[in-house]
Amino acid sequence: MKPIRVGLLGLGIVGGGTYAVLERNREEISRRAGREIFVTMAAVRAVDLERAREKTAGRIALTTDPAQVVNAPDVDIVAELMGGIHPAKELVLQAIQQGKHVVTANKALLALHGNEIFQAAHERGVMVAFEAAVAGGIPIIKMLREGLTANRIEWIAGIINGTSNYILTSMRDRGVSFEAALKEAQALGYAEADPTFDIEGIDAAHKLTIMAAIAFGIPMQFDRAYTEGISRLTSKDIRYAEEFGYRIKLLGITRRTTRGIELRVHPTLIPQKRLIANVDGVMNAVLVKGDAVGATLYYGAGAGAEPTGSSVVADLVDITRMATADPGNRVPHLAFQPDQMHDDVVLPVADIETSYYLRMQAFDRPGVLADVTRILADLDISIEAMLQREPVAGEEHVDVIMLTHQTLERQIDRAIAAIEALDSISGQVTRIRLELLGSA
Ligand code: HSE
């Protein structure tokens, strides 16, 4: 059979990793794919031309004009590995219009414009594959779309941003400052071009949006995701959480409830004994709960050249195998047939239901705890555990930490407002959500 020819948009970390994996494992990959797959051309920025020539040893055509790759007659699959929204979106749509299949690692593009892109691909009868867009080298898209297809998926909880996990791990284990840990992650090539995407939970929300769409058969709804990052977390809270037997992780959580879909990214206390609580450094992990299979956990490198390249190449192989199949017989882009998608409501954060860690600074005098617990009781919020530190010499107030049972976020909002209004409480109450992530 004729070889499949790939054009790369971008030959940076992901593009370079993809090229290297394809070259090194060429023979084994073609034994699996049934056809040879090779890169014919790549578009790079002018400043990167020399480095690209070295990386590819002059074996492929290089251009600084990405449209040339999209329009090239000897390119069957366009792999968009440049990132960003523009011109990536226009190039992907152009490739689709030309009847070319597309592989993309671009989570922001899919989370924001996936509905339009998949619609265009469906109409044109081409495939858009995106394994590398979520959790780097972990084949989580394949799992959600195919491996778990028998299940009604109930919830997903994932550590899906390596940079923030690296920062949290370094702060906890090595006492490294937030800034120093971020610098290290950037030097290792894990952080986004704009690192606020990593530390403010935006990158994780992009990936979560994509997983929720596939898990529940809903359109991409990034604008409805609740996003809170790790930049306001203190090492004090990390330490207190440990005292209660919990770790704090930046989790992306999506859950199907009778009232709608929860779609949220935020720092979360999880019991130390859960496997996912022990996923450290830049590693990623995704916990998926299906009604038939129970809880399943997928772990691996969430970023980096060859792990992400591994996912891109898997998509290239999938497309190669399915290229001649009738479009109606292919795996649907978002796991559900396009006419079977549902428009379930994504709940505002006030309507989510979870447990909470609350830390407050109380003046050390009689009746303070009674006031706080009365507020919680009046709102029907049950306390699971409580800790009061001994007063530090010279300090007027003491840290009081409470863990609550599950309640609606709007109830906790009310409780926090009432607690903060007490004369005996100083400053703001720190609230961190808590998930048990049990399999029940
Ligand atoms: N910035 C991302 C991370 C890269 O840190 O996980 C992979 O998407």
- Walk along the chain (440 residues) and give the pLDDT tens digit of each residue: 899 999 999 999 999 999 999 999 999 999 999 999 999 999 999 999 999 999 999 999 999 999 999 999 999 999 999 999 999 999 999 999 999 999 999 999 999 999 999 999 999 999 999 999 999 999 999 999 999 999 999 999 999 999 999 999 999 999 888 899 999 988 888 888 889 999 999 999 999 999 999 999 999 999 999 999 999 999 899 999 999 999 999 999 999 999 999 999 999 999 999 999 999 999 999 999 999 999 999 999 999 999 999 999 999 999 999 988 899 999 999 999 999 999 899 999 999 999 999 999 999 888 999 999 999 999 999 999 999 988 888 888 899 999 999 999 999 999 999 999 999 999 999 999 999 998 75
Domain chopping of the chain, boundaries: 4-137+305-340, 140-301, 350-434
Atom of ligand 1 nearest to the CA of 163: 5
Give CA–CA dist 210/220, Å, rounded: 6
Q: Is 136 in the pocket of ligand 1 (CB under 6 A)?
A: yes
pTM for the full predicted model = 0.97
- CATH for 140-301, among 3.10.20.30, 3.30.70.360, 3.30.420.40, 3.30.360.10? 3.30.360.10
The torsion angles phi and psi of 237, rounded to 5 degrees, stand at -70, -35
Nearest CA to ligand 1 atom 8: 303
Q: Which amino acid is at 396?
A: E
Does the Cβ of 190 fall within 6 Å of ligand 1?
Answer: yes
Whose structure tokens read 């490198």? Answer: 301
Cα gap 16→55, rounded to integer Å: 7
Confidence at residue 260, expressed as pLDDT on a 0 to 100 scale: 98
The rounded Å distance from CA 428 to ligand 1 centre is 32
Q: Report the C-alpha gap between 57 and 38 in whole angstroms.
A: 14
Report which ligand 1 atom has the smallest distance to the Cα of 164: 5
Query: 163: Cβ below 6 Å to ligand 1?
Result: yes
What distance in angstroms lies between residue 243's CA and the mean position of ligand 1's atoms? Answer: 30
Stretch (H or E) spanning 308: helix 305-322
294, 272, 275: which is closest to 283 by C-alpha? 275
Give the ligand 1 atom nearest the CA of 308: 7
CA 147 to chain centre: 19
C-alpha–C-alpha distance, residues 322 and 328, integer Å: 11
**Set 55, 107, 207, 289: catalytic member:** 207
Specify the CATH class of 350-434 in words: alpha beta
CATH of 4-137+305-340, one of 3.10.450.50, 3.40.50.720, 2.120.10.80, 2.60.40.1930: 3.40.50.720
What spacing in Å lies between the alpha carbon of 177 and ligand 1's midpoint? 20
Q: Active-site residue 207, yes or no?
A: yes
pLDDT in tens, 187-205: 888 888 889 999 999 999 9
Contact, 210 vs 110, CB < 8 A? yes
Q: Does a cis peptide bond (omega within 30 degrees of 0) precede residue 87?
A: yes
Q: Is the CB of 302 under 6 A from ligand 1?
A: yes
pLDDT tens, residue by residue, 274-310: 999 999 999 999 999 999 999 999 999 999 999 999 9
Q: What is the pLDDT of residue 440?
A: 55
